[in-house]
A and B are shown apart, each in its own frame.
Chain A
Amino acid sequence: MHIKHHPVLGEQLQKTITIYFNDLPYTAYEQQTVAAALMANGIKRLGSSRNLVQPRGLFCTKGRCCSCYATINGEDHVRTCQTMVEDGMKIYPNDEDPEVRGECCGD
């Protein structure tokens, strides 16, 4: 849920944008990170662990724990807590090992 009226900081959320998770549209606000905007829309599972295939999501919000990886605009393994939302952004969960080879990755 978005906090429209913050008890200390007031009404900060003004400009809405649309992001896509698994091709479905969701409303986000421009000063939010991808992970936060998805959580506001009830999406917490952002990927699964490689070995035991356990659900993974946001944990530290500071870019340290690397638990919130997702694929953003075609790039695998992006920390969603350190990436700000942009209009039309396409996000997919990271359920497999990331693509690190090929032309797109500079190989």
Chain B
Amino acid sequence: MNAVETDVLIIGAGPAGLAAAFETASRGLQVTLVDESKSMGGQLVQQTQVLSSLPSIYQPMCGFELAAHLSRQLEDFEIRYLLGHRVIGFYKDGSVGITDEKNVFPLRAKKTIVATGASENAIAFPKWTLPGVMTIGAAQTLMNRNFVQPGKNAVIVGSSDFAMDVALQLSKVGVRIRGIVEKNTGVKANGTEKVEQVRKIGIPILLNSSIKEARGIGAVSEVDIQQGEDIWTEKVDLVCVDGGRSPILDIFYQLGCSFGHQEELGGWVPQYNNDFQTDCENVFLAGNAAGISTQGALLVTGMLAGINVCAALGAISKEAVEEGKQSLWKELESIETRSNLKVWQARNQHIEKFAHPVLKDQFIS
């Protein structure tokens, strides 16, 4: 079968992928955008909280508003949208195998930007596999994307900013939160205002505590919470685990990219240079796949990857590239030092290590 040709293949239509699509398509490149979902915006679609730390050109807005904005700004360009499609592998000749869930067809791209995002990590405790135990993001998706109440009585395990956002949102749709369980001595969330709001509506934040065990027949019906010496039982039908996120790496493994480990960036991250280019010359990356960060930073990394792909394909003048890169890196520094300095430091360390990859051609999942 003859491969479909494209200048730029962008894998993932979340914030980073859409930002990269704008940068490349607006400079006249032919762009193909693939996403497993039928809708654009990735995980922005169910974010009903106001996003903090967006790039300076943006007004404060909610995630679903940002998703609509990013999709709208692509309307003027002829982009090949492959929504409801998945990349399932690579052919020997370097072309990409894409499926619409019925057929598989090859696509050949001059440059690829991988913006596959992140997946949530689990937190294990006895019987954590019972139905009704789910990630905090899953509870949010059910509520804000499917309009389904995920339970009536809940505990949340973990106390990140995201957990606070979702706790407030769950309360508003009538879920009673019996407690936020945090194993450490302090709350993980940086947003003190949000934590205060959570406390104000009567959600107990339990420090130094953990789930000892979950029980239930066919679904979770109660959990034992342990705090110091005390152990008590809460009747719940929903347990939301907030175990943080890690980059989704499948495609990088298949491409043979090398990886480095950066705890602050979510664990194993593909190696890349300050052009967001991996050690495979034609493969760039952006967004959470390049290290877990805030929404604003995801957009900037998408723009950076886009501009660098334009430079590699000669679609932008040298001066414009340098100017664009400089201002975007400044923006990224400003966002990440403001929201999480450790992420900024880890990203720089990660880029410095580009010349010395830790793992090459190795499957490590």
Contacts and interface: CB of A to CB of B under 8 A. Distances in A.
B48 interface: yes
Contact of A60 (B38, B120, B147): B120
Interface residues of A, number: 37
A32 B146 contact: yes
- Tell me what chain A mostly uses at the interface: helix, strand, loop, or mixed: loop
Contact of B148 (A9, A36, A55, A64): A36
Interface in B1-48: 36, 38, 43, 48
Contacts of B150: 39
Interface stretch (B91-99, B130-138, B322-330): B130-138
A61 B131 CA distance: 12
A1 B131 contact: no
Contact of B144 (A6, A64, A67): A6
Given A3-B147, A45-B218, A59 B138 contact: yes
A82 B35 CA distance: 12
A7 interface: yes
Given A1-B149, A36-B148, A55 B130 contact: yes
A40 interface: yes
12 contacts: A4-B147, A6-B147, A8-B144, A31-B146, A33-B146, A36-B146, A40-B149, A44-B218, A55-B131, A60-B134, A62-B120, A62-B138
A60 B148 contact: no
A73 interface: no
Nearest to B39: A31
Interface string B163-176: 00000010011000
Question: Which A-B residue pairs are the 10 nearest by beta carbons?
Answer: A57-B131, A36-B146, A44-B131, A61-B138, A61-B141, A40-B148, A3-B147, A8-B48, A44-B219, A1-B149
Contacts of B104: none
A59 B148 contact: no
Contacts of B142: 36, 39, 58, 61
Contacts of B141: 36, 61-62
Contacts of A2: 147-149
B211 to A, nearest CB: 15
A64 B150 CA distance: 19
B84 to A, nearest CB: 10
Interface of B: 36, 38, 43, 48, 62, 64, 119-120, 122, 129-135, 137-138, 141-150, 169, 172-173, 218-219, 248
Contacts of B173: 3, 6-7
The interface centre, meaning the residue of B119, B135, B147 with most chain A CB atoms within 10 A of its CB, is B147
A46 interface: yes
A29 B165 CA distance: 26
A68 to B, nearest CB: 9
Interface in A28-64: 29, 31-33, 36-37, 39-40, 44-46, 49, 54-64
Nearest to A46: B131
Given A3-B173, A6-B173, A44-B131, A62 B146 contact: no
A57 B148 contact: no
A89 interface: no
A12 interface: yes
A36 B144 CA distance: 11
A17 interface: no
B146 A60 contact: no
Contact of B137 (A3, A37, A54, A60): A60
A57 B147 contact: no
Contact of A1 (B36, B148, B169): B148
Contacts of A13: 147
Contacts of A7: 169, 172-173
Given A1-B149, A3-B149, A36-B146, A56 B137 contact: no
B248 A59 contact: no
A59 B145 CA distance: 15
